[in-house]
Amino acid sequence: MNNKKQNILIIGAGLCGSLLALRLGQRGYNVNVYEMRPDLRKTDISAGRSINLALSDRGFKAMKLTNIEDKVKELCIPMNGRMLHDKEGNTFLSNYSGRDHEYINSVSRGELNGLLLTEAEKHENVTIHFNKECKSVDFENTTALFRDFNTKDEFVEDADCIIATDGAGSALRNSYYLGKKFLFSFSQDYLNHGYKELSFLPTEDGGYKTYKNALHIWPRRSFMLIALPNLDGSFTVTLFLSYDEGEYNFNNLTTPEIVTEFFEKEFPDALALMPNLVDDFFTNPTSSLGTVKCSPWHYKGNTLLMGDSAHAIVPFYGQGMNAAFEDVVEFDNILDQNLESWEATFKAYEKGRKKDTDAIADLAIDNFHEMKDHVANPIFQEKRKIEMALEKEFPNDYSSKYSLVTFNETISYREAMLRGRAQDKAILNMLADGIISVDDDLNTILEKVKNETEAILEDD
The residues that touch ligand FAD, with contacts defined as CB under 6 A, are: 11-17, 34-37, 49-50, 53-54, 133-134, 165-167, 171, 195, 307-308, 315, 318-322, 324
Residue 294 contacts by C-beta under 8 Å, 6 or more apart in sequence?
173, 176, 184, 185, 186, 187, 305, 310, 311
Element (H, E) at 189: strand 185-200
CB of 283 to ligand FAD, least distance (A): 17
CB of 108 or CB of 249, closer to ligand FAD: 108
CB of 55 or CB of 431, closer to ligand FAD: 55
SS3 19: helix
CB of 125 to ligand FAD, least distance (A): 20
CA distance 360 to 369: 15
CB of 397 to ligand FAD, least distance (A): 28
CB of 168 or CB of 456, closer to ligand FAD: 168
CB of 14 or CB of 296, closer to ligand FAD: 14
CB of 229 or CB of 318, closer to ligand FAD: 318
CB of 115 to ligand FAD, least distance (A): 14
Q: Which residues of 414-444 are buried (b: 16+ CB within 10 A; e: fewer)?
A: bbbbbbbbbbbebbeebbeeeebeeeeeeee
CB of 352 to ligand FAD, least distance (A): 18
CA distance 298 to 301: 7
CB of 230 or CB of 319, closer to ligand FAD: 319
Which DSSP category does 168 fall into?
T
CB of 164 or CB of 388, closer to ligand FAD: 164
CB of 408 to ligand FAD, least distance (A): 16
How many helices (DSSP H) and strands (DSSP E) are in the chain? 15, 19
Residue 121: Cβ within 10 Å count:
17
- Of 136, 164, 176, give the one whose Cα is nearest residue 305: 164
CA angle 129, 132, 133 (to 5 degrees): 140
Q: What are 227's strand-pairing partners?
A: 216, 237
CA distance 45 to 279: 19
CA distance 177 to 179: 6
- Of 354, 342, 198, 217, give the one whose Cα is nearest residue 276: 198
The closest residue (CB) to ligand FAD is 14
**Angle between helical axes of 57-65 and 320-336 (0-180°, round to 10):** 40
CA distance 197 to 286: 8
CB of 292 to ligand FAD, least distance (A): 10
Q: φ and ψ at 344, to 5 degrees?
A: -65, -35
CB of 249 or CB of 453, closer to ligand FAD: 249
HSE of 128, CA atoms in CB hemisphere, 13 A = 28
CB of 285 to ligand FAD, least distance (A): 11
CB of 53 to ligand FAD, least distance (A): 4
CB of 15 or CB of 273, closer to ligand FAD: 15
CB of 27 or CB of 37, closer to ligand FAD: 37
Q: Which residues of 60-86 are buried (b: 16+ CB within 10 A; e: fewer)?
A: bbbbebbebeeebeebbbebbbbbbbe
CB of 33 to ligand FAD, least distance (A): 9
